[in-house]
Structure 1
Amino acid sequence: MTAEPRGSRVLPDARPASLVLRLTPEFALPFVQLARLDRPAGWQLLLAPCWQGAALAGLALNRGPNLWHLALFLAGAIAMRGAGSTYNDILDRKLDAGVERTRGRPLPSGRVGVRAAALFLVAQSLVGLAVLVNFNRFSIWLGVASLGIVAVYPLMKRVTSWPQAVLGLAFSWGALIGWSATFASLALAPGLLYLSAFAWTIGYDTIYAMQDARDDAIVGIRSTARLFGENTRLGVGLFYAAAALLALMAILLVGGGPIALIGWLAYAGHLAWQVSQVEGAGAATALRLFRSNRDAGFLLFAGLALQGWAG
């Protein structure tokens, strides 16, 4: 029997020429795909609110973000994005088999079993726990509190047209922990940043869901992309506008500054550019716009961090 070419197992939303895929041995490829290491946009978008929260806390103290905290958040975002994706794939393996973009994933394609995926999930979760215990007690319990939202998210696409909102609740949590890692408490500013990231997540994940709207309708998966339909540009635009306004309020509440405001302008401008491109976007364009949110999120972080370091 002729072995299946490796290239045929590269998933549609991965970059075939990525360094991760080139360096991954054949036996490890299904686990790399379960953790989405071949698709880094997910952990980058999970990381952005963490770093933004840390930078906002630093700005409130007229200093830059804690570099050790930034490193911890990087490791934690990669581990917990991988754990969340593995958990999602275990629950969604039958639904994924009916969607063109996802039927080649390791579980629906049979390249890895449920037990092996579950053990991999536990291993990644332990890495995330090892990161979390480096923070203060308030932040540890705050991190634990997010697990309930993470646990129910994969089920939401079956019961509501707003699974993107549940994802927003989970993916934005880092804005709160980024702040609490410094202050061991919360305040209005990180709350506003959390709401900003929440609205931002709904917007970009709606764009992501545009790729699967046709197949989702067939298998019964709900999403804001299907809900908004022909009004997707308006829906994304409203959530992006809310994200920009709430981020601005958070910045001004901790003292603002010209560099922070330049970073905010770049962030808001990036979101406006996405809205201008989303009308009638095909799958390739939707994926490109979704991935570009990594740049949007880090533009906002850079403005906050540089303002703090500038003093």
Structure 2
Amino acid sequence: MTQQLIPPTRPLEAGLYLVATPIGHLEDITLRALRILRDVDQIAAEDTRTARKLLNAYDLQKPTFSLYRDNEAQRVPRLIEHLQEGQSVALISEAGMPGISDPGYVAVQHVLEAGFPVIPIPGANAVTTALLPSGLPCDRFMFLGFLPPKSGKRRQHLAPYLHVPSTLVLYASPHKLPSLLEDLENILGDRRACIARELTKSHEEFCRGTLSELAAQFADESRRKGEFVLLIEGHQGPVETVLESEQQETEEARIKARIRTLLKEGVRPSKLARKLTAEFPSLSRKRAYQQILALEKHDEDGQKESEES
């Protein structure tokens, strides 16, 4: 019956076909994807065992070779040889779209450099599948993939996204989930979030709440089974707040530099405050005095430390 639904065979040009495969449920594959997998000359698969399971489910028999992250660079010459011989090659990952937190980027670059086309065959994707029912804004989102495994590097990686207004989407491994949720709360605050688990499979689950609530839910190791997509609400302050903050930091640096220059010129603090408020209209007289005193104290403390050493 399935074979009857697949469109008729069409000649395929030599090229690399990026074919999306199911992320869990075997029925989540397009008729076009099945046609491409049936008609290509070769299939490069991240996991040949998973690929064989999919192909057998739809009674498809094709020569298959492995292409995963650790051997991608070594497999590229073989891939290019097939294309140079006029063959068509499909690239499939273990689940979803190739190249999205999966092998594919290196192969695509080399194929394009060799002058052959790269043709996307769209389909299932964990990011959008998790995003739509999450209850979080989906008009704009940012995909972060897998974050660094160590907490220090992970926090450093997260810091630039503190003020991003878009929903943040990332993948999480079960054993890293507790420390990841802790880092997210520490860096981003206790925001609304959603954990999507085992997407499209029989035990599919969406858990919604704040980051601290989700951390409590998944504190029990028995709850941390399967594959996870984690979605976090974006920064809720207006975008202008971020820009104003950056501008304020720049102005603060200019004010400090100006204070040091005027102090070196021998300008008295009382006169210095008037000069500063005239040059920086947003600066109050009181704030100017505070800046002058703080800077003088900082410089004096620094001088004492250097003398003691």
What range is the shorter-chain TM-score in? under 0.3
More strand by share: 2
Task: With the length of structure 1 as denominator, give the TM-score of the two structures.
Answer: 0.28
More helix by share: 1
With CA pairs under 8 Å and 6+ residues apart, which has the higher RCO, 1 or 2?
A: 1
- The structure that has the greater radius of gyration is 2
